[in-house]
Amino acid sequence: MDFTKYQALGNDYLLLDPGPPLTPAAVRLLCDRRLGVGADGVLLLDGPVDVDRPVAVRTVNADGSPCARSANGVRMVGLHLAGLHPGTARFTVATPAGESAVEVTDAAAGLVSVGLGPAAVSPPRPLAVAGAGFDMSFVDNGNPHAVLFLPEVGAGVAHEHGEAVAASFPGRANVQFVHVLGPDRLRVEVYERGAGYTPASGASACAAASAAHARGLTGGRVAVLMPGGSVAVEVGGDGVRMAGEVRKVFEGRISAALRRALEEVR
């Protein structure tokens, strides 16, 4: 079982092409940073791949739960496909959340953009969780997001309140703690419902930009700064588009011992 590991600003995934059937327990073992390979999730390509058609990908969070679409994961798939098909820069990636147009603008530099389509943004409302109060907008861009606006943010607030906020929604939600730095800049801390605290998340960056734009706090183009780095997000009438760096970390092969362990939990 071969795999390729990619990361985007510290948000890392294991890509398996083709993607074998994996139980939630097997995914948890693969993503365990001590007992397995270690990652925020797994990307499973449903082959054989034909770049002239939408390429189907299944995404599973580190806790074994399904993810309808990872924006960073889709960009990783795009870079992976560009490596397999030199000279081709545009791909369509099909996920349970819909099809996404991916463009590899510079394969050597790992610059990849993805379109997520329109996001559904709820009106602002207060949210009270575990004795703490927040100003929230709920965003659905293929995944559920609770976007919380604060006068300042840091890793501490995400660690302290992320799990309680995520668990307060049916099926859990991804959580973004947002500080508006200006009309074209946001600072965001992320707590993902299936991976916990992460240094970056593409879908979360898009959700934060969508919520801020809907409130009139930012323009159509913003830089979203996260602990792992920044991405550029555009919010327009045809939907949301994000661009940033993706890196291939390494290629590897699952050992015989780990394969046996995966079979046992399967």
Binding residues: 11, 61, 143, 174, 192-193
Residues 6 or more apart whose CB falls under 8 angstroms from that of 8 comprise 72, 75, 76, 200, 202, 228, 244, 245, 246, 247
Contact 222, 206 (CB under 8 A): no
Q: Is 24 helix (H, G, I), strand (E, B) or coil?
A: helix
Exposure string for 65-87, b = 16+ CB within 10 A, e = fewer: bebbbbbbbbbbbbbbbbeeeee
CA distance 196 to 78: 25
CA distances from residue 52 to 89, 137, 250, 253 in whole angstroms, order as listed: 12, 38, 27, 29
CA distances from residue 43 to 20, 57, 133, 226, 253 in whole angstroms, order as listed: 10, 7, 35, 23, 15
In the annotated binding site for substrate, the residues are: 11, 61, 143, 174, 192-193
CA distance 195 to 203: 14
